[in-house]
Structure 1
Amino acid sequence: MLQFLKEMMDFKFLLTLSTLIGLFSLLKTLVVILRWAWGSFLRPKKDLKKYGSWAVVTGPTDGIGKATTFQLAREGLNLVLIGRNPAKLSSVSSEVQERFAGVKVRSIVCDFAKDLENGIKRIEQGIKDLDVGILINNVGTTYPFAMFLHEVDEKLMESVIGVNVVGTTKVTHVVLQGMVERKRGAIVNIGSGASSVLPSYPLVTIYSATKG
């Protein structure tokens, strides 16, 4: 009889513990969902122009960068587009001006992997007379295919770190100076799920570290 009671008490304890763990997990998931819903749908819209009349976007010719460029233009912000391909920059610039009347666009060529120093000088010259209030650091590069860290050669390693870390840092340094002087501005760094959804993912180690 005593053994049976002891087993029942152990069972109740395990059941209570399991229930508490389950409730905690459920609560944590609910908080994540609510934060996502607030940030995506419920939070009051910000007037981006209060930061300044111009926005700088790196890597604006494809994917997230291009979509962000159009969204900023939709908000009425003038744009400084920074990328390595003059033809793509010209194409995006023309498309923005066709779709969003009155939005001004400046394009600056900067190859973050091969000619960063000269590109940074062009950026510095290109924005010195502008009221830049927003910087979107979207530029990035990764491996041509998945590989373990010891398989990455030095040239590729330097390219990924040079573009994702050094290039982004130097652009931020140039743009930030004007923001500090004007005492307003916003900087958004576009990361990657590789650094959070799959932490320590062994096949894109350097990329994950530079896009966290």
Structure 2
Amino acid sequence: MTGPALAAWFFHLLVFVGGVSAAAFSFRVLAYLALCLRRPRDLRRRYGAWAVVTGPTSGIGRSVALELARRGLNLVLLDLDAANLQETSDAITSRHTVETRTVVFDLSLVGTPQGDESMRRLRAAIEGLDVGVLVNNAGVAKPAVAYLHEAEVEAWVRMIRVNLWALTEVTAAVLPGMVERGRGAVVNMGSASSEAIPSFPLNTIYAATKRYVSKFSRSLYVEYRSKGIDVQCQAPFFVATRLVPSAVLDNWLSPLVPTPETYARAAARWIGHGPLCTPTAGHQLLWCLAGVLPDAAHDWLRMREHLRLRALLSQRARAARASAADRGEKTTRAKKMSF
């Protein structure tokens, strides 16, 4: 092949690849717009009168619980703090005419005698209920921006228990009723850190547990769709919750970081629409942009950004300790002067 012919062949190849990429992007945008313009699905009528939500006392979980209540679903709420559960339950019932039940459940204790007792309480709480939706939202993100050797093994084990093991056990407890009734939806909260980008250094265990969530959800989607049950993994990028460092919210990404309320509205609309999604428009855009970069570029950028974030958080922690020590010294001097 001559030089001009080779150049022409390469040009046509680039045009073809660009055309395919543009078509894929356009299809994603059109599908998103079509879903946004469509009348929202009646979740109660389609799936059932009750929803189970884990981790509903703050952030995405609280907003999702409130959004499901707004759509008329009664709620079974699972969390480790009884007072926070009661406050969330009261907030929901004060705004919406739905019923709530609460189950105190430390998800980091699954596989232990205490965890087995909590699972029995969960099964008792949902017995006889028309549970149509399960939202596995609870998750642990810390230790964060840390090398594997820097944290205690028990901290990593706790993350694995909550993000992976507990999600599996709660799903296994709720699914039999859905199978019996022939309908239901399971929504598992994954992460774009395991789906849209090839690596998430210094947050390795977190991303690995979320990869399990994605594969778990996809396989269950195939297993149970013939039984009338929709299983979905939602994989958001950053959402403005307390789990996200303020340093992330202050950079160029901030316009694309939704509030928990905005995310919850989009998340509820996406339930039942495919095995994997990232519900908000900003996150859809980030997902498309992420697909343009080669893996090596992603690896370099993520490591660079996480090292920068690690240094910034360390600096803020030192400043906070110094400020606390200074306040302690002033208090001590004041006490001495009062004598």
Under a length normalisation based on structure 1, what TM-score does the superposition of the two structures give?
0.89
SS in 1 for 2:125: helix
1:147 matches 2:146: yes
- Unaligned 5+ runs, structure 2: 212-339
Q: CA deviation at 1:136?
A: 0.6
Q: CA deviation at 1:153?
A: 3.0
> Whole-Å Cα distance in 2 between the matches of residues 33 and 138 of structure 1?
26
Mapped contact 1:116–1:167 kept (Cα < 8 A): no
Q: CA deviation at 1:180?
A: 1.6
- Out of 18, 28, 32, the position equivalent to 2:28 is 32
Q: CA deviation at 1:189?
A: 0.6
**Count of matched residue pairs:** 206
1:14 matches 2:10: yes
After superposition, the Cα gap between the structure-2 partners of 1:150 and 1:38, relative to the gap in structure 1 and judged at 3 Å, is farther
| CA deviations over 1:139-160 (Å, ceiling 9, x no partner) | 1112232123344432012111
| CA deviations over 1:157-194 (Å, ceiling 9, x no partner) | 21111111111111111111211222221111111121
Q: CA deviation at 1:93?
A: 0.8
Give the aligned residue type for 1:140. Answer: G
- Out of 98, 105, 111, the position equivalent to 2:100 is 105
Matches within 5 A, 1:1-212: 6-39=2-35, 41-50=36-45, 51-100=47-96, 102-114=97-109, 115-212=114-211
**CA-atom RMSD in angstroms:** 1.9
Mapped contact 2:51–2:131 kept (Cα < 8 A): yes
SS in 2 for 1:113: helix
> Whole-Å Cα distance in 2 between the matches of residues 7 and 26 of structure 1?
28
After superposition, the Cα gap between the structure-2 partners of 1:126 and 1:93, relative to the gap in structure 1 and judged at 3 Å, is same
Higher RCO, 1 vs 2 (CA within 8 Å, ≥6 residues apart):
1
Q: CA deviation at 1:8?
A: 3.4
Mapped contact 2:143–2:156 kept (Cα < 8 A): no
Q: CA deviation at 1:117?
A: 2.0
Give the aligned residue type for 1:205. Answer: T
> Whole-Å Cα distance in 2 between the matches of residues 191 and 17 of structure 1?
35
> Whole-Å Cα distance in 1 between the matches of residues 68 and 60 of structure 2?
12
Q: CA deviation at 1:9?
A: 3.0
> Whole-Å Cα distance in 1 between the matches of residues 92 and 160 of structure 2?
31
Mapped contact 2:143–2:151 kept (Cα < 8 A): no
> Whole-Å Cα distance in 2 between the matches of residues 145 and 120 of structure 1?
29
| CA deviations over 1:96-131 (Å, ceiling 9, x no partner) | 11111x211111110011342222111111111311
Mapped contact 1:149–1:202 kept (Cα < 8 A): no
SS in 2 for 1:107: strand
Q: CA deviation at 1:22?
A: 1.6
- Unaligned 5+ runs, structure 1: 1-5
SS in 1 for 2:41: coil
Name whichever of 176-185 and 90-99 sits farther off.
176-185
Q: CA deviation at 1:78?
A: 0.6
> Whole-Å Cα distance in 2 between the matches of residues 181 and 7 of structure 1?
67
